[in-house]
Chain A
C-alpha cells in the first residue's frame, strides 16, 4: 500500500494532493455554504483561456501566470456582475463561463498539438508535477489559508445573514470579492495537477459529502480535507495498480475525483438516517391567531 509511493513521481503526486486537500477542504465549506458551486465551475472554465494564452506565450511557467491573471480578472468580473442583481446570478455567470471557455478552445485549436494540450489543460497531469510546482502550490495554499482565516468570521456572518452582516458594518461586495479571489487562487493552484475541469470536484464534493455526517462547519472542513487526501491516496494507488498489474491506463486525476464522488454517494444513506427525526413542533398561539 505504501510501496508505489516510493517512486518519486508518485510521492510528488501524493504531496500535491495533500496540499490541495489542505486548502480545498476549508474553502469547499464556504463554496457549499454560499452556494457558489456554479460560480466555482465558471471560474474553472474562465481560467482556461488564461491557461492557454500563458502556455502559448511562456510554456509551463507562463501557464501559471496566465491562470493567475485570468482567475483574478474573473473573480472581479463575477463579483461586479452578480452584485447589482440587475441580471440574475446564474445568467450572468453562465454568459461569462461559456464566452471565456470558447475563447480558450479557439486559442488552443490553433496549435498543432491541439488534442494533447487540451487534454492536459482540462484534466491535468498529476503524475508529472515537479518539485517547483509543488512549491508554488504550497505558497498559494498558505496565502489562501491565511486569507480564509482572516476573513472566516466575516464570511460566515455574510453567508448566514447578508442583511445582518451589512447592518453590522461589513461591506458585502468586498467580502464577496474576497471569497471569489480565494476560490480563483485555489483553482490556479490545482489547475496543473488536476486540470480546470476536475478541480471543481475538489471545491464542491468534499463539503457536500461532509455535510451528510456533521452539522458543524469546522468539522466539515476537517472531514472535507481528509476525504480529498484519502481519495488522492486511493486514486493514485488505483491508477498505479490498474496500469502495472492489469495494463489498463487509468488517469490518476480522474480516479481521485471518481473516488471522491463515490465517498459522497456512500454518505447519502448516513444523511438520510440522521435526518429521520420527528418534525419541528408546530407553533400555535401566535398573537394574530389569538386576536
Chain B
C-alpha cells in the first residue's frame, strides 16, 4: 500500500521550541486518522507541519513520499470556518473554485472542467443549491461544508481537516461525515483533529492521542480507553462520553 503520511519520532513547533514531540504515524491511502487531544495539545501544529507550514524539528517525516516542504500544495486542507471573514464578498462557488486555482494556474481562465469539478464538489457536500449564495450568509455548518467542497475540488490524495465538526449543526455533521466516507472509499487518506471522541470512534481507522507529546496511536478500540485517555489528558476531563 502507498504511504500517504509517515512520521518517525517527529517533533514539531515554532521558532525551535517543540509544541508536540514523539510523533510516530503511518497512514496508508484510503485510511483515516483522528488526532485527539485537549485544546492546546498541538493538533493544529501537527496538521500544519504536514502541510509544510510549520517546521519539523526532529525525526523523519514523509508526506506523499516526499518531505513536507516538498509536498507543500499537494495535500488538501480544510481550516476552521471561524478563522475566515464572514463579511468577505465571495460566493460559495467562488470559494470552491479556489480549490481549482493551482490546477488552473496564473494565466488561463477557468474551463468547463473546472466549473464541473466545482459543481460536483458542492453537490458532494449537499450544497448544490447554495452555489450562488454569499459565503458569509451561510450557517457555520454550511460554511464548513463549502470549505470541504473546496478541498474536494482540488482532488488531493491526502486531506487534513482542523476540527471539522466544531460548532456544526446535525445536518451539516451528517453531510460532512458522508463526504469524508466517500473520500476514503475513493482512496484519499484523511487526517482530522477533534476533541469529540464519538467522532473519532465513528470516522477514524486510527486514533492518535496527543497532548504535548504522542501518548498512543492505533485503532479506536485500543486507544480510546479510560486508561489511555487518563494518561494523555491527566485526570481531568476524561469522564465525558465514557
Which residues of A come within 8 Å of B, CB atoms? 33, 150-151, 153-154, 156-157, 159-161, 163-170, 211, 214-217, 220, 280-281, 283-288, 290-291
Give the residues in chain B near A169, CB-CB below 8 Å.
72-74, 102
Contacts A168-B73, A211-B89, A291-B241 given; indicate if A283 touches B139 (C-beta within 8 A): yes
Does B196 sit within 8 A of A, measured CB to CB? yes
- Name B104's contact: one of A153, A166, A215 (CB within 8 Å): A153
- Provide the bound-state CA to CA distance between A199 and B73, in Å: 38
Q: Looking at B48, B88, B99, which has the most chain A CB atoms within 10 Å of its CB? A: B88
Does B39 sit within 8 A of A, measured CB to CB? no
Which 10 interchain pairs have the tightest Cβ spacing?
A169-B73, A167-B77, A285-B170, A283-B169, A167-B51, A215-B89, A157-B98, A215-B134, A153-B101, A169-B72
Does B13 sit within 8 A of A, measured CB to CB? no
Give the residues in chain B near A157, CB-CB below 8 Å.
98, 101
Nearest CB in chain B: distance from A177 CB, A: 16
Chain B count of residues within 8 A CB distance of the other chain = 46
Give the residues in chain B near A166, CB-CB below 8 Å.
51, 53
| CB atoms of B84 and A160 under 8 A apart | yes
- Provide the bound-state CA to CA distance between A259 and B124, in Å: 48
Give the residues in chain A near B48, CB-CB below 8 Å.
163
Does B198 sit within 8 A of A, measured CB to CB? yes
- Name A283's contact: one of B74, B167, B241 (CB within 8 Å): B167
Known: A150-B107, A167-B79, A290-B170. 7 other contacts (CB 8 A): A153-B98, A160-B90, A167-B75, A168-B101, A169-B72, A215-B89, A287-B198
The proximity string for B residues 146-180 relative to A, scoring 1 for CB distances below 8 Å and 0 otherwise, is 01001000100000100001011110010000000
Give the nearest-CB partner of A32 in chain B.
B89
- Provide the bound-state CA to CA distance between A291 and B95, in Å: 32
Give the nearest-CB partner of A160 in chain B.
B88
Give the nearest-CB partner of A167 in chain B.
B77
Give the residues in chain B near A220, CB-CB below 8 Å.
89
| CB atoms of A161 and B79 under 8 A apart | yes
- Provide the bound-state CA to CA distance between A151 and B101, in Å: 11
Q: Looking at A167, A283, A285, which has the most chain B CB atoms within 10 Å of its CB? A: A167
Nearest CB in chain B: distance from A190 CB, A: 25
| CB atoms of A163 and B165 under 8 A apart | no
Nearest CB in chain B: distance from A90 CB, A: 18
- Provide the bound-state CA to CA distance between A127 and B150, in Å: 50
What are 25 A-B contacts with C-beta separation under 8 Å?
A33-B89, A151-B106, A159-B88, A160-B95, A161-B83, A161-B84, A161-B98, A164-B79, A164-B98, A166-B51, A167-B51, A167-B73, A168-B98, A168-B101, A168-B154, A169-B74, A217-B94, A220-B89, A283-B140, A285-B170, A286-B170, A287-B173, A287-B199, A288-B196, A291-B198
Segment 98-121 of B: residues with Cβ below 8 Å from A: 98-99, 101-102, 104, 106-107
Nearest CB in chain B: distance from A256 CB, A: 26
Give the residues in chain A near B167, CB-CB below 8 Å.
283, 286
| CB atoms of A216 and B89 under 8 A apart | yes
Give the residues in chain A near B220, CB-CB below 8 Å.
none
Nearest CB in chain A: distance from B1 CB, A: 25
Contacts A281-B139, A285-B169, A287-B199 given; indicate if A163 touches B83 (C-beta within 8 A): yes
- Provide the bound-state CA to CA distance between A89 and B217, in Å: 41
Q: Looking at A151, A161, A216, A285, which has the most chain B CB atoms within 10 Å of its CB? A: A161
Does B85 sit within 8 A of A, measured CB to CB? yes
Give the residues in chain B near A163, CB-CB below 8 Å.
48, 53, 77, 79, 83
Nearest CB in chain B: distance from A270 CB, A: 15
- Provide the bound-state CA to CA distance between A4 and B224, in Å: 81
Give the residues in chain B near A283, CB-CB below 8 Å.
139-141, 167-169
- Provide the bound-state CA to CA distance between A214 and B91, in Å: 12
Nearest CB in chain A: distance from B197 CB, A: 9
Give the residues in chain B near A211, CB-CB below 8 Å.
89
Give the residues in chain A near B76, CB-CB below 8 Å.
167
Does B137 sit within 8 A of A, measured CB to CB? yes
